[in-house]
Amino acid sequence: MAEPVNFECTTPEDTIAFGRSLGRELRAGDLVLLAGPLGAGKTTLTRGIAEGLGVSGRVSSPTFVLARVHPGPVPLVHVDAYRLGGDLAQLDDLDLDTDLEASAVVVEWGEGSADRLSADHLVVRLSREEDDVRRIALEPHGNWTTRTPLLPTR
């Protein structure tokens, strides 16, 4: 097992910058699961991922829409798994305006339900520390373990 990547982001901008670096590494078919409590920064991080992917549209919480598609070179599908009852397989039934295999899929509250979609995924675990400090841990699964050297460390 490679060393787990683990670091702190001290401002929202810092978290967005990390997301941007991660977004630049994402390819079609990738699955990223964001774990962490309400307010941990999952949506904020996704804002950065969207910038890194170069997709269009403002990123906001997917809570009320279940999933939102941001068109781009590699489209971003931003999902709220909590609202899907934890069953990511339901994504296939949503009639999204994109092919999941051709998109990068980022799922808030997705941990534990991923196997229904793909065993190859990256868990990004965010936790709140004091004030604006957020701890971020990257946990690669399946094929992602071989990509660890490409993962941003900040």
Helix (H) or strand (E) holding 33: strand 31-35
At 111, list the tokens: 């941990």
Distances (CA, A) of 31 to 11, 43, 101: 25, 16, 10
43 part of the interface to ligand ADP, by CB under 6 A = yes
Binding residue for ligand ADP, selected from 19, 22, 26, 41, defined by CB under 6 A: 41
Binding residue for ligand ADP, selected from 6, 11, 145, 146, defined by CB under 6 A: 11
Residue whose C-beta lies closest to ligand ADP:
41
At 139, list the tokens: 């946990």
3-state secondary structure of 101: helix
- 41 contacts which partner out of ligand ADP, Mg ion, none, CB within 5 to 8 A by kind? ligand ADP
Using left for φ > 0, alpha for ψ between -120 and 50, and beta otherwise, residue 82 falls in: alpha
Question: What is the smallest separation between the CB atom of 4 and Mg ion, expressed in angstroms?
Answer: 23
- 9 contacts which partner out of ligand ADP, Mg ion, none, CB within 5 to 8 A by kind? ligand ADP
Site for ligand ADP in 100-139 (CB under 6 A): 108, 132, 134
